[in-house]
Structure 1
């Protein structure tokens, strides 16, 4: 009972934190400037302009911060539970690499100049193609190790093709556009892009969350889970497909935002315990809060170009990853 109360307190606290950061994302501008007063002044002279800026510029950025952060946190927690590996993260299964490749090919073909919607469409197609290839390589009843190896191979091949597209880019401006997109960002996104990726993310969340009981059983071993009536094939299919759909959609619209899916579950474990099921919701809320906070951090510099979100999360996540490796080594020795 006490553990359940603690979980409710943690989840409620994280939800409040994410809500506050969401509001801050709406009303904090470059250099940490508060924009509420400016919105009020604009609304006095032209309410339509104020509403347009808020709904079509500020709101998509804040919503995508929540959606992408929740996706990465939830997917990271689910994969770590499924693979029984604390170093697992959403990019492991190859969907994010496929999404990045699909979006890069849109840039390479010059289709992005027509409409911004071609980029997420290409990214989602790339993610779905990567998932299809994953199951072709892994087979009908794959072992966990086979899935990991197939995912690593797909990620490596996608990265190689992405580098090839950069190498053969028709102009330095196109190459620069591709590189900037791959660094990850929430700026200049629209509500049309939010509505496009939301169904893929929602379906991915449902599939991933449906494995919560099985993930607890798998922590006791595959044989124990099978004895309790859980099909490893079904659980693996739902977790991988759900993660691939949600993460692929996220990458298709924001670019690559790394380390969130790895770091957040580890930050949540001391608060809610080691059970994979109890980690899913806190990781989703914590991921949303972390991405929103990082997106606020990129706005702090007053001068110079705005930092890219993927750069900030990498600067935060890479030292944590190294610390995690060193701690794992100490525990193994």
Structure 2
């Protein structure tokens, strides 16, 4: 009971942080709106400038930062529990790299100019195709190590494809466009991107949250989990599908954003009983808050050009991860 109450308190506190981050994201930027102008625009009685800023720029960007951050945080927590590896994140299975390859293909062949939905759809399709390749490489094995090795192979292959596209870019502008997308950003996103990403993220999150009890059983090892009645093959299927669909949809609209799925579970784990299922929802909410705050930071930073979100999360993630590694290494 005490543990459940403590978890509920943590979820409420993280939800409040995410809500404050979202509100700050709507209020602050190159043009500060202020609460009266914000509420007037939301009610349909605002001035045209505030209404345009809110609905065309900030609201879609805020919704995407919350959704993408939640998906990355949740995926990282699930993969760390399933693979029993504190360094696991979506990139381990090659999902992020494969989704990036699909987006790069859309940019390289000029398909992204046909319709705004083409790039994210190709990224999602590429993530799903990587799932097929992952299953082919892993075969019938239920070992976590086999999945990690297969994921490294898929990720390496996708990275080689991205490097090839950069190498063969017909002009410097095409290469610059690809590199800009790979750095990760939520700049200039619209409700069209929200409509593409949210269904994928919702489906992916539902599949990942389904595995909570199985992840707790896996702390006893694969044989122990099987003795408790856990169907490891079905768990693996749900996990891989959830990661491919959810992370593929997230990366499709945000570009490559690293370290959220790696560091957020480490940040919330000391605040829970450390069971894999207990950190799933806190990691999702914490990821949403962290990415929203990072995106707010790139917008209000006094720079000539807006910083890329993937660069900022990397700079934030490395020292935080190393600090927690030093403090928590004996507890794994």
Which band: TM-score by shorter chain?
over 0.9
- Which ranges of structure 1 fall in alignment gaps of 5 or more residues? none
- Tell me the distance in 2 between the aligned counterparts of 1:41 and 1:140: 55
- Of the structure 1 ranges 33-42 and 168-177, higher mean CA displacement relative to structure 2 is found in 33-42
Map of 2:32 onto structure 1? 34
What is the alpha-carbon distance in structure 2 between the residues aligned to residue 37 and residue 61 of structure 1? 18
* Residues 67 and 45 (structure 1), Cα distance of their counterparts in 2 relative to 1, 3 Å cut: closer
CA deviation digits over 1:144-184, x for unaligned, max 9? 11111111011011011101101111111111111011100
Shift of 1:125: 1.1
Whether 1:130 and 2:130 are equivalent positions in the alignment is yes
Structure 1 position 295, deviation (Å): 0.6
Deviations 1:78-126 (A, max 9, x none): 0010011111111110111110000001000112223322110111111
Residue aligning to 1:232: 232
Query: Following TM superposition, by how much is the alpha carbon of 1:296 offset from its aligned partner in structure 2, in angstroms?
Result: 1.1
The verdict on how the C-alpha distance between 1:38 and 1:302 changes in structure 2, with shifts beyond 3 A counting, is: farther
Establish whether residue 218 from structure 1 lines up as the match of residue 214 from structure 2.
Answer: no
Secondary structure at 1:298 match in 2: helix
Quote the RMSD (CA, aligned, Å).
2.2
- Residue 40 of structure 1 deviates from its aligned partner by 6.5
- The runs of 5 or more residues in structure 2 that have no matched partner are none
* Residue of structure 1 equivalent to 2:76: 76
Equivalent-residue separation in structure 1 for 2:196 and 2:45 (angstroms): 33
User: Distance in 2 between the 1:267 and 1:273 partners?
Assistant: 13
Shift of 1:273: 2.0
Tell me: CA distance 1:39–1:168, structure 2 relative to 1, closer, same or farther (3 Å): farther
Alignment pair present for 1:88 and 2:88: yes
Residues 227 and 41 (structure 1), Cα distance of their counterparts in 2 relative to 1, 3 Å cut: closer
Q: TM-score of the superposition, structure 1-length normalised?
A: 0.93
Listed one character per residue, the Cα deviations across residues 251-281 of structure 1 (whole Å, up to 9, x for unaligned) are 1110011001010000001111210000000
Output aligned runs, 1:1-333, within 5 Å: 1-30=1-30, 34-36=32-34, 39=37, 47=47, 50-323=50-323
Taking the aligned partners of 1:35 and 1:134, their CA distance within structure 2 comes to 47
Does the 8 Å contact 2:266/2:324 carry over to 1?
A: no
With normalisation by structure 2, the TM-score equals 0.93
Deviation readout 1:222-245 (Å, 9 max, x if unpaired):
122111111111111111211121
Q: Secondary structure at the match of 1:137?
A: helix
Q: How many residues align?
A: 330
Q: How far apart, CA to CA, are the structure 1 residues paired with 2:234 and 2:141?
A: 9
In the alignment, the residues of structure 1 paired with residue 24 and residue 323 of structure 2 have an alpha-carbon distance, to the nearest angstrom, of 31
The answer (yes or no) to whether the contact 1:42–1:49 under 8 Å persists in 2 is: no
User: How far does the alpha carbon of each residue in 1:4-63 deviate from its partner, in whole angstroms, 9 at most, with x for none?
Assistant: 111111000000110111111111103xx5223794799699745543432222111000
CA displacement 1:180-214 (0-9 Å, x = unmatched): 11100111111111111211111111110000011
CA distance in structure 2 between the partners assigned to 1:161 and 1:186 by the alignment: 24
Deviates more, 1:100-109 or 1:44-53: 44-53
